[in-house]
Amino acid sequence: MFGKAITYGSLWDFASADAVAESQRWVLSTMQKHGQELVTMLWRILGNEQDVCDAYQDTFLQLAHFDGRRKPRHIKAYIFRVANNVAVSMLRRRIIERNRLAVPVVSPGTADEPGSEIDSRHLREALRGYIAQLPENLRNVVALRDLAELPYNQVGKILGISTGTARVYRCKAIQLLAAWMNREE
């Protein structure tokens, strides 16, 4: 939690109003208004301060260059969707890199021993990998509801769906994740 406060503060320090053209001041206003919520969501998805900083920066670069530098119609939904997609892409790249290096997370022999404890890091990384494989609509609901810990009504508003639809998507996502995790065992 301490890292998030430092991250958000350091991210805001670089963006002085003097360095920004008048036509782009709305980007700074958006950063100031929604930045803390965005950092919190990214922190919960990525769990790494450097990745959070990179995803935050990518999100606002995409915002500043949106459709000829015009302001999106639903700016909050846009930045949360972009941030979620950036974070998921980062997780996918991390998985691909891990698979390429083929580094075993669990030491050989210990996984088959009766009574051995579940490696929580391995479980967490596997779950993040499976979340990244979910269809986009399900992945977005899981990211906002479970990782960012937003209530269903906010998830629905951000994604432009009803609260009930958000609940149904989360239920489907949990069922898929459970099936995939059971298959791994």
| CATH classification code of 117-185 | 1.10.10.10
Residue 65 DSSP one-character state: T
Phi, psi of 11, rounded to the nearest 5 degrees: -70, -35
CATH architecture, domain 1-103? Orthogonal Bundle (1.10)
The dihedral sign for the CA sequence 176, 179, 183, 184: positive
Question: pLDDT digit string (tens) for 3-50?
Answer: 444 444 544 444 444 555 655 677 778 788 888 888 888 888 888 888
CB neighbour list of residue 91: distance below 8 Å, 6 or more residues apart = 45, 46, 128, 129, 131, 132
Range(s) for CATH 1.10.10.10 in the chain?
A: 117-185
Question: pLDDT digit string (tens) for 159-178?
Answer: 999 999 999 999 999 988 88
Phi, psi of 162, rounded to the nearest 5 degrees: -75, 165
Range(s) for CATH 1.10.1740 in the chain?
A: 1-103
CB neighbour list of residue 155: distance below 8 Å, 6 or more residues apart = 141, 144, 145, 163, 166
**72, containing H or E segment:** none
Long-range contacts of 22-28 (CB under 8 A, 24+ apart): 23/69, 24/64, 24/69, 26/71, 27/60, 27/63, 27/64
Query: What is the percent of the chain where pLDDT is above 90?
Result: 12
Residue 3 is encoded by which pair of tokens? 């890292």
CA distance 41 to 88: 12
Question: pLDDT digit string (tens) for 81-134?
Answer: 989 999 998 888 888 777 766 544 444 455 555 444 557 778 878 888 888 888
